[in-house]
Amino acid sequence: MSGKHCLGGVGYRHVMIATQPPNYEGRGLVNLMAEVEHRLIGSAASTRLDEDLAGLIPDGQTYVVVLFDGLGAGQLGHREATDLASSRAATLDAPFPATTTVSLATVATGLPPSQHGIIAYKLWMPEVDTVVNTIHMTTPFGEAIEAIDHENLLPRPNLWERVAARGVEPIVVQPGNFQSTPLTKTLYRGARFEGYWSLDDAVNVTRDLALPGRLVFLYIPHVDFAAHLSGQDSSEYADAMALANEIWSRLGETLGDHVTLIGTADHGHVDIDEASRFVIDESDVGEGFVSEDGRVIFVHGNGEALARRHGGIWIPRDGSVNWWGPGPFHEAFADRAPDGIVFLPKGIAV
């Protein structure tokens, strides 16, 4: 592959149960975005990458950041990920929790979740009196929430606005059907939106837009979608990985020498069979409720019983705040944050 390029996988350091917060001080996704921002305009809202990681990224007049949804460090061993794996430069920590909307809000703002305020995929928002599915910006039951001001949900200025103010044009390249969604309005305020409709389109649009003095952010959802729909052992997943691998390879071959191409992810995947999935009942949380699910559970109430039932670890709020990152905290953080977190053992989900 020609040109300047590097790939950073995203994953958590973990044993049977994750007990160490992600790194926000130089070895995380937020620091990668801060590094790019500083390279372009000479300042950044967060701490840059540690020197050893920063040294892996060549300087460029233009930066193209490709985010492969769901392509964490653990997925690079797939048989269809050969070009991706050969470009791997280092491993970064995803912000907490390791889910798409939390990480994409970190990309869009250059801030950790503690500061941008999207602290969960299923986010308790007392200002609208419901848990919000932040992918669709609906209730957990799919009902629209008219009270959310999507364009002002994230802090101002965001990453796109900061670089634009200094003469760098920010462009986001997304599947074309994402253009008018609530999540797009939330994440990409201040950036030019360009849609693509095929593999060829994604490569060609990105190549044509990568002119000097620009920041181009390309989002590839296929690996994540296939993992959720069919699992990582499926033919659909292999096809999606092959597509991601080809996009990466072709970008490396076609982008000019003035471009620094960076690949990363928002999170990885763990397949969990149906027999290891459990339903939370009222006895688990008493009079409280849950605002996040999967392998990490945000409990508004007392989560000790839930942790005991599933062999997990309960960490009350006083011991869990640093998982979302350092201050200064978003103005809504205290109201949105749970009373504590339950971390489940490997292979268990609710």
Rounded CA-CA distance 137/153 in Å is: 11
Question: How much is the pLDDT for 328?
Answer: 97
Question: How much is the pLDDT for 98?
Answer: 95
Cα 46 → chain centroid: 16
Question: How much is the pLDDT for 232?
Answer: 97
Question: How much is the pLDDT for 234?
Answer: 98
The strand pairing partners of 5, in sequence order, are 261
Question: How much is the pLDDT for 7?
Answer: 61
- Is there a contact between 220 and 202 (Cβ–Cβ < 8 Å)? yes
**Low-confidence residues of the chain, pLDDT below 70?**
1-18
| Angstrom distances, CA of residue 180 to CA of 28, 186, 195, 324, 338 | 30, 10, 11, 29, 31
Q: What are phi and psi of 9, to 5 degrees?
A: -70, 155
Rounded CA-CA distance 55/105 in Å is: 25
Rounded CA-CA distance 119/346 in Å is: 22
Pairing of strands 169-175, 192-196: parallel
Question: How much is the pLDDT for 15?
Answer: 34
pTM over the 0.85 mark = yes
Rounded CA-CA distance 109/157 in Å is: 8
Question: How much is the pLDDT for 93?
Answer: 97
